[in-house]
Chain A
Amino acid sequence: MVTIAPDITSKPGSANNSSDVLRLGRPFRYIVLTLVGLFFIVPIVSSARFSFLGNHNSFTISAYTQLFGTAQFWSTLFLSAKVGVGTVFLTLLLLIPTVVWVHVRLPKLRRVFEAASLLPLVVPSVVVTLGVITSFRGLPNIIYGTPVILSLEYVVLALPFSYRALDSAVQSIDLKTLVEAGQSLGSGWIKLLRYVLLPNLRGGIIGASILTFAFCLGEFAVASLLSFTTFPVFLVQVGQLAASQAVALSLLALLFTWIPLAVITIVFSQRRAKRSTPVLDDLEIS
């Protein structure tokens, strides 16, 4: 399918590590990375250009000013933010105790719970929505008829991201020793959580919160099919009327999700790099 080692282009003895196994030549690397890079940059640049495009190729910021002057822009953004905050709160409330419990009491089932957190991937969100309609129609209106149902479902749908972030944070500290040390000094679970676990898990909690919040701001399928005009639903409505406004709005939405995501990706990869260096570290504890 793919020829991995084009020997002709490689310069022997010029590289190290995995580059030494692969021996791919400079031209190959540059061509591949440039083309792929272009594919990701061109749509962003085009969106920016498109959103500032006035009549007869003039430059205008009217798409942005009109958007910011629309009441619905602010109200839908506020609704999405509200749903996001609710979801983050519920997620942390549900997951922090669960993840900690699994690591302390059921370490052998860690992988089982990690797998369970991936279950939402098995049921496409369109199907979840249909199921919500058929099975929760009878519930009181305060749950089914308000955006509360969105938060309740988003906790589940964002689980593959949020659980993993918390799980890897717990995995990276020596939880069992911390808990045992705390208990031997006479603190109960509440004190442990407040003074030992939360400070140590701060990174993972922030990561999980950002991922969950970003998910909520972007989720379209469930919100639109349950007829809630959240931010992405508003975006589609704008798109049917004013293309340049929709593009401007999309660009803002993308940038606002990318920046925090980039921050946590960098932080997490640094932490992983720090952890993975000495293999012996893992055995030192015992």
Chain B
Amino acid sequence: MTLNDELLDRSPSPAGDGTSVPEPAGRILRGRRRGWKNVAGTLPFIAYLGVFLAVPAVSVIATAFQDGKGNLTLSNFNEAIHGVYLKSFIASIQLSFVAALVAVVVGLLAALAVSSTSNKIVRSLVTAGSGVFANTGGVPLAFSFVATVGNFGIVTKLLQSAGFDLYSHGFSLYSVTGLAIVYQYFLIPLMILIMLPPIQALRKEWVDASESLGASRSQFWRWIGIPLLAPPIFAAFIVLFTDAFAAYATAQALTSGTIPLVPIQLGALISGNVLAGQTNLGDALGAGMILIVVIAGLIYATIQRRTSKWLR
């Protein structure tokens, strides 16, 4: 293996200067001829994704444009963006936006606090903890919050005996606000995981260099630190938003489906609570969800392309 091979394999080169080694023409031609044979080994994987992901997704999108008899129509979408379904889209987006925003702020502060401690135990504890909690979710999470700040939760009762009634002050766990709080349990760790590498990539040398050029601390942050951290923060926000937007289990277990969110409405339609003339409405909701996630993904990809230039 040559050095060139090695460098080309790792496409965004660690050097980060963007210079790629030009390939000799002969190798490209040989590569083309070998191309199909090389792809062959990955066909099972591609076929599997095709059958069990692309087929269901495409069928939802295709059905969304059809009426009950298979004729082309836009009426499903018309229904999906009116009345209770419009409200559920708005509620879902609001919930995901607020939950992601809170997690971005808290997670960023935590990531900064962890990065600034030289205590190794704290560091590895937070990293391991984040890896574990970021994968938590679903039904058990909902019930552990019921036990904590539900109607008869331990913390609710403690506060009551201290003379403060959460539920008479407008708080309810079984609401959009409650969900936004519960979601923090997996969103904050995710934010910490995403932000630790870029924060720890900030170099002491950059501070020194800026200082030797006469910059103050705040000038360093204004012109170097924040511009470097802003793209990963925005990218993280989008990841968290999508995560919250698609979450179904926690919301369903916590509210028994009474809360108007898109995944919940769609779940209710699938479970058979379908009114006459709404046969393919669920598909339109599903297509709408895919659209929102795809838009978020495109923004994410654009930001990532800018970030990966320096973060390696």
List chain B residues, Cβ under 8 A from A159.
Answer: 49
A106–B1 touching, CB < 8 Å: no
B48–A155 touching, CB < 8 Å: yes
Q: Do A125 and B113 contact each other (CB < 8 Å), given the known contacts A42-B148, A265-B131?
A: no
Residue ID in chain A nearest B204 by CB atoms: A20
B199–A18 touching, CB < 8 Å: yes
* 10 A–B contacts from the bound complex (CB under 8 Å): A15-B118, A23-B116, A33-B110, A46-B144, A131-B60, A155-B52, A177-B1, A250-B142, A269-B124, A282-B6
Picked from B116, B126, B136, B270, the residue with its CB within 8 Å of the CB of A18 is B116
The main secondary structure of chain A at its interface with chain B is helix
A97 at the interface (CB under 8 A from B): yes
Among B228-274, those with CB < 8 Å from A are 229, 242, 245-246, 248-249, 252-253, 256, 263, 266-267, 270-271
User: Distance in Å from the Cβ of B226 to the closest Cβ of chain A?
Assistant: 7
Q: What's the Cα separation between A111 and B10 when bound, in Å?
A: 9
B72 at the interface (CB under 8 A from A): no
User: Distance in Å from the Cβ of A158 to the closest Cβ of chain B?
Assistant: 11
Residues of A at the B interface (CB closer than 8 Å) are 1-2, 4-5, 7, 15-24, 28-29, 32-33, 36, 39-40, 42-47, 49-51, 94-95, 97-98, 101-102, 105-108, 110-111, 113, 116, 119-136, 152-153, 155-156, 159, 161, 176-177, 211, 214, 218-221, 224-225, 232, 235-236, 239-240, 243, 246-247, 249-251, 253-254, 257-258, 261-262, 265-266, 269, 279, 282-283, 285-286
B132 at the interface (CB under 8 A from A): yes
User: Distance in Å from the Cβ of B49 to the closest Cβ of chain A?
Assistant: 7
B84 at the interface (CB under 8 A from A): no
A36–B152 touching, CB < 8 Å: no
Q: What's the Cα separation between A235 and B270 when bound, in Å?
A: 20
Q: What's the Cα separation between A43 and B155 when bound, in Å?
A: 9
Residue ID in chain B nearest A97 by CB atoms: B41
List 6 other contacts, CB 8 Å, given A122-B297, A239-B139, A239-B146. A28-B113, A47-B143, A47-B147, A130-B282, A131-B60, A134-B56
Q: Do A17 and B118 contact each other (CB < 8 Å), given the known contacts A127-B290, A129-B270?
A: yes
A101–B41 touching, CB < 8 Å: yes
Q: What's the Cα separation between A1 and B112 when bound, in Å?
A: 14
B105–A1 touching, CB < 8 Å: yes
A43–B145 touching, CB < 8 Å: yes
Q: What's the Cα separation between A126 and B289 when bound, in Å?
A: 10
Q: What's the Cα separation between A32 and B118 when bound, in Å?
A: 15
Among B157-184, those with CB < 8 Å from A are 184
The 8 A CB mask of B200-240 against A (1 = contact, 0 = none) is 10111011000000000110010001100100000000000
Q: Do A130 and B131 contact each other (CB < 8 Å), given the known contacts A232-B138, A250-B139?
A: no
By CB atoms of chain A within 10 A, which of B225, B245, B246, B263 has the most?
B246
Residue ID in chain B nearest A26 by CB atoms: B117
List chain B residues, Cβ under 8 A from A50.
Answer: 147-148, 153-154
B71 at the interface (CB under 8 A from A): no
A261–B132 touching, CB < 8 Å: yes
List chain B residues, Cβ under 8 A from A130.
Answer: 56, 60, 266, 270, 282-283, 286
Q: What's the Cα separation between A283 and B3 when bound, in Å?
A: 8
Residue ID in chain B nearest A22 by CB atoms: B116
B105–A124 touching, CB < 8 Å: no
B53 at the interface (CB under 8 A from A): yes
Q: Do A156 and B52 contact each other (CB < 8 Å), given the known contacts A46-B154, A123-B290, A218-B140?
A: yes
List chain A residues, Cβ under 8 A from B122.
Answer: 33
Picked from B6, B118, B207, the residue with its CB within 8 Å of the CB of A286 is B6
User: Distance in Å from the Cβ of B122 to the closest Cβ of chain A?
Assistant: 7
User: Distance in Å from the Cβ of B55 to the closest Cβ of chain A?
Assistant: 5
Q: What's the Cα separation between A113 and B39 when bound, in Å?
A: 12
B94 at the interface (CB under 8 A from A): no
A127–B266 touching, CB < 8 Å: yes
List chain A residues, Cβ under 8 A from B184.
Answer: 39
List chain B residues, Cβ under 8 A from A16.
Answer: 118
A236–B185 touching, CB < 8 Å: no
B44–A133 touching, CB < 8 Å: no
Q: Do A22 and B112 contact each other (CB < 8 Å), given the known contacts A40-B185, A128-B56, A155-B52?
A: yes
